Amino acid sequence: RAKVNILGVSFDKLTMQQYQQEFLDRIDRREPTMIVTANPEIVMTAKDDADYRKIINDVADYVTADGIGVVKAAKMLDEEIPERVAGYDLFTWFMKLADQKRLRVYLIGAKPAVIQAVQAKVKQNYPGIKLVGAEDGYSKDSLDLIAGRIKQTKPDMVFAALGFPKQEKMLAILRREQVPAILMGVGGSFDVFSG
Ligand code: UDP
């Protein structure tokens, strides 16, 4: 796939519609799929954190431009990223898909009251979703331990709202173990979704 490198981070040059088609195909084929929706802050963090950079460039399967600043930076490099593809938009699209397809979803992150509200909203508005896990993002467990208990639930989708780079570091453990799921860090999305 064609990529564009911005400050050391390799972005995909796909539209929202193209991403969605790719993800639908990969879900049908049960392929492990880690997605990073990279905003300018993530790019700056990756610049100074080699481990994080490696996860984004070599472990993640897709890197979207989550911010108009990234789209503009590509233009300045004479490259074309067709549009911004925001984490929250992808997250809500995946949740609707999971509802329709009755998929197993694991949600981890945000404060206890927030994840409780998210859980209530899922039960109410997305009754087809099999919520195999809903835990807050402040457990003291190691990322390995957390990844292990997520894996045990055999999820089809895992959304992690732990802030970056923590969420990607945890998801990368699952991706490296070839867990056949959509794996995506969603930053502050649970706070928005619960409101
Ligand atoms: N968060 C979490 N555990 C942590 C740190 C953050 O669950 O150890 C949650 C936080 O409650 C919020 C989300 O991660 O829901 C995003 O946090 P923040 O805005 O700090 O990160 P960013 O948006 O910069 O990724």
Taking only the tens place, the pLDDT of each residue in 81-105 is 999 999 999 999 999 999 999 999 9
Which residue has the least CA distance to atom 15 on ligand 1?
A: 110
What is the atom index within ligand 1 of the atom nearest the CA of 136?
7
Taking only the tens place, the pLDDT of each residue in 167-194 is 999 999 999 999 999 999 999 999 999 9
Taking only the tens place, the pLDDT of each residue in 54-85 is 999 999 999 999 999 999 999 999 999 999 99
Pocket lining for ligand 1, CB < 6 angstroms: 109-111, 137-138, 161-164, 166, 187-188, 190-191
Ligand 1 pocket check: which of 162, 164, 166, 192 to mutate, most ligand atoms within 8 Å of Cβ?
162
Residue 42, phi then psi, degrees to nearest 5: -65, -40
In 49-175, which ranges are E strands? 62-65, 104-109, 130-135, 157-161
Taking only the tens place, the pLDDT of each residue in 123-144 is 999 999 999 999 999 999 999 9
Residue 5 pLDDT: 95
Q: How far apart are CA 66 and CA 69, in angstroms?
A: 8
Residue 11 three-state SS: strand
- The CA 185 to ligand 1 mean position distance, Å, reads 10
Q: How far apart are CA 126 and CA 95, in angstroms?
A: 8
Q: Both tokens of residue 115?
A: 């994840």
Taking only the tens place, the pLDDT of each residue in 15-31 is 999 999 999 999 999 99
Give the pTM: 0.97
Residue 166 pLDDT: 98
Q: What's the CATH code of the domain at 142? A: 3.40.50
Domain count, the chain: 1
Which residue has the least CA distance to atom 13 on ligand 1?
A: 188
C-alpha distances out from residue 26 to 30, 156, 183, Å: 6, 11, 12
Domain that holds residue 56: 3-194
Average pLDDT along the chain: 97
